[in-house]
Structure 1
Amino acid sequence: MTPPRGSGDGSGDRYDALVAVADEVLVGLDFDGTLSPIVEDPSRAVIHPDGPRVLRDLAACVRAVVVITGRPARQVVELGGLDAVADSLAAGSRLVVMGQYGNEHWDSGSREFRSPEPPPGLQAFRDELPALLAAQDAEGAFVEEKGLAVAVHTRRLPDAAAAYARLEAALGEAVERHGLGLEPGRMVLEVRAPGMHKGLAVHAALEEHRAGAVLFAGDDLGDLEAFEAVRGLRDQGLPTLLVCSGSEEQEALAALSDVVVDGPAGVLGLLARFVEDVRSAQEG
């Protein structure tokens, strides 16, 4: 099959290089906007219908499939139906979730969840948040509790972009007082512990699985550190491919990507093609 062509030079060659070393490839995937559509209610952001089948087939031909997400790991396992996917995996296949930007861990072998204690200052921020929202005329913002983080979604507000801009400044001041970090996203601002991000999670996953190549797909600013980490690994000589799940809301990753596809359906279509090409190469 013809390899994908994207926004970056040499994308086809990079794709072909990963096909050739598939058993060494770590596939890192964001969840929201990459495996599941962006919706107003985050609790309803279930995986795309093609997701379970593609993840099962993909895990059978690469070193590991790792979902690296800002969501709690337990939420992603539920919304992705990943327990059922784990039941269907071929022997030796590995499916992992690194939740809360890498702070949490679940894998298809043990089915156990590992999570640290919430960061200092988070409860004090929670207590202050209603007054902060009221001061910015954003009482209707949807507040998502994530255990190790709090996410404030402006998508439901009448002027979501303007409310987002007001809250970004106000929440930035609050998180600094409480020793926390602020993660901007697609009409969402997430307050969490500083010091961990998806770039560090990529390096941790690479070491854990002793992978020699990386494909990473994401859609939002929270994936920026992962993209930068993968580009650094490319500079060190590792075969890599960066895939952007494109949208009208966020274009920051497109210029850094080798391939830009149309949302979760496009990501899963590319991964399904990758599986087919790996199988064809093995049979040939």
Structure 2
Amino acid sequence: MHPDPDRLAAIAARVPGALIALDFDGTLAPIVDDPSAARPVPGVTDTLTRLARAGAQIAIVTGRDAATVLELGGLDAIPEVIVSGLHGAETWQHGELRTRDEPSGLAALRASLPPLLRRTAGVWLEDKRLSLVVHTRQAADPQRTLTELAELLPPLVAEQGLELHPGKLVLEIRIPDLSKATALEELLTADTTAALFGGDDLGDLPAVAAVSAWAAATGRPGLTIAVGEVSELRQAADGAVDSPAELAQLLAGLLAAG
């Protein structure tokens, strides 16, 4: 399932003008119990900087808010980097942030969910301003707790006009009709020479589909990479690696091949 060397070579040959779009947690940075402790694997930020200087457009496409990702990763050091945060609800570029307005339903859920979630030890709510994330990783039985909440929360979320999306021991509440494909469709332009996307979770499936559709429509090289063990993503992507460290090696290989 490792990415096809010929497809990697096609991306490497077109680095000037290529879009290299990557998720953050689980892709550039290993998953950790405390999201505020996440950091990119050693060397990958330098590799992305070198790819940018070689002419690639580097984009971080994440469920995190853009400001947090920039702070955790020091990613603003990458020339011309774009950070699409909160599944396309906001975009940071050239030091400026464009963002959607906050849906009214989020305020109601901020008030109603914490008392409900406190009934289960280890469950906590992360507020990302334009989305809310329920974490079960620290619960006594994380997967069972996730399953129970996945049955309990949908009516409450739908009542507020929002959507519930599952992930790795998380349930994310966000604006309807937004996904990482929203971001990719803006980033893929008529000038894009090739596209590579890497992600690690179910929320990355729309981005995989967007890159594949763009490559089929344009005839230009496209490559999607699943990072980690999520079977649905590994089946949908063109290739897979087991960890952020392996992805970092693959990205460094683009420089060497180019």
Q: In the alignment, is the contact (CA less than 8 A) between 2:227 and 2:244 conserved in 1?
A: yes
Q: 2 CA distance for matches of 1:257 and 1:192? A: 24
How is 1:75-114 mapped onto 2 (pairs within 5 angstroms)? Answer: 75-83=68-76, 85-86=77-78, 89=79, 94-107=80-93, 110-114=94-98
Match of 1:162 in 2: 144
Q: 1 CA distance for matches of 2:194 and 2:54? A: 13
Q: In the alignment, is the contact (CA less than 8 A) between 2:121 and 2:140 conserved in 1?
A: no
Counterpart check, 1:6 vs 2:2: yes
Match of 2:200 in 1: 219
Match of 1:17 in 2: 10
| 1:113 counterpart SS class | strand
Shift of 1:54: 1.2
| 1:38 counterpart SS class | coil
Give 5+ residue unaligned stretches, structure 2. none
Counterpart check, 1:128 vs 2:112: yes
- In structure 1, give the amino acid aligned to 2:231: E
TM-score normalised according to structure 2 size: 0.94
Q: In the alignment, is the contact (CA less than 8 A) between 1:72 and 1:104 conserved in 2?
A: yes
Shift of 1:25: 1.1
Shift of 1:258: 2.2
| 2:101 counterpart SS class | coil
CA RMSD after TM alignment: 1.7
Counterpart check, 1:199 vs 2:185: no
Question: Which of 13, 26, 31 lines up with 2:19 in the alignment?
Answer: 26
1:13-60 CA distance string (max 9 Å, x none): 222221222213101100000011100111111222222211111212
Q: In the alignment, is the contact (CA less than 8 A) between 1:73 and 1:100 conserved in 2?
A: yes
- Runs of 4+ in structure 1 over 6 Å off: none
Shift of 1:106: 1.4
Q: In the alignment, is the contact (CA less than 8 A) between 1:26 and 1:62 conserved in 2?
A: no
Counterpart check, 1:276 vs 2:256: yes
Give 5+ residue unaligned stretches, structure 1. 279-284
Q: In the alignment, is the contact (CA less than 8 A) between 2:58 and 2:81 conserved in 1?
A: yes
| 1:24 counterpart SS class | coil
- In structure 1, give the amino acid aligned to 2:216: D
How high is the sequence identity, in percent, across the aligned residues?
39
